[in-house]
Structure formats: C-alpha cells, structure tokens
Amino acid sequence: MLARVVKNISISSLDKRNMLREVMVKIGLERVDTQEGITVETLLDSGATELVMSSEFARKQGFKLKRIERLIYVRNVDRTLNKEGLIEHTVEVNIYYQGHRERTEIDVIGGQKWNVILRIPWLAHYNPEIDWRTGEVKMTRYLEECGK
C-alpha cells in the first residue's frame, strides 16, 4: 500500500517553486604540498560514487597531480562509459567544512561542469543534516577523526 501511495505522487503535486535542482556547499580545500588553501563551491551528489575534481579546476588552481597506478573507468548515470576518458590522476587535499577536517585524495576527471563533487561515502560518513528546500547543510554530528 505504501508503494502505491508513493507511486501516485506526481511532481505537479509538489511546490515546484521550492524545489532545488542541486545542493551546493562552500568548502575549504588545502593543498597538502604547499598548505595553501582556497574556498570552492562544491556539489553534494548522492548519486556519485567517488569524490571528484575537474581537471581544468585542478590545473587552474595549481594542484599537484599524482598519477595513479590503476586507471579507473568513469561511468555515467545511465552506465555508459564517460566520453572524457579514464581517471589517471588524484590530488591530495585537506577538506574543511564547518569545523570538520579530512585529509583525502580526490579523483581528477575531465569535462566536469562542477569544480568538486562530494559523493555518497562522504555524505554517509558525515551524515549532515540537509534541508532539501533551502539547500542548507549542517554538520551537527561530531566525529572524533574530524579534527574539530
């Protein structure tokens, strides 16, 4: 019965004026090699499986690219191979957001509309509170390893 109710909800019955197409957050990115930091608008994407950075953005911002040993195929949402090719590099960064800090590697890929995309594992790990109407994201859950 629940499935039938959910199935019958149409987009026209929702308030389209209050619907967000995307949720963006500003994060701090620090280059590990130089300790230089920048602020970047980042897409939260619950459909992405990796943390990614645009190759053009990485180049413009002077991130040091690290070649990966095992190249990674990129698939689109429809499971087709991405025309921009393989992931060949990563960058090592510290990510800062609302008092949380994480050192990680970000995959670098070409042809991206967004500078940086935070993916499902990041969202699951930090489990932020997201207001899907306003796009407000709050980091209310403290994790020991965040360096807060």
SS3 assignment, position 148? coil
Per-residue DSSP letter, 81: B
pLDDT at 5: 32
Separation CA 36–CA 24 (nearest Å): 22
Separation CA 144–CA 66 (nearest Å): 28
Separation CA 33–CA 13 (nearest Å): 51
Is the entire prediction scored with pTM above 0.75?
no
pLDDT at 144: 62
- Per the model's pLDDT, the better-predicted residue between 34 and 73 turns out to be 34
Per residue in 79-112, pLDDT tens?
A: 777 777 778 899 999 999 888 888 999 999 887 7
Per residue in 11-47, pLDDT tens?
A: 344 455 555 567 888 999 999 989 999 999 988 876 6
**Contact residues for 78 (Cβ-Cβ < 8 A; gap 6+):** none
- Structural domains in the chain, CATH included, are 15-146 (2.40.70.10)
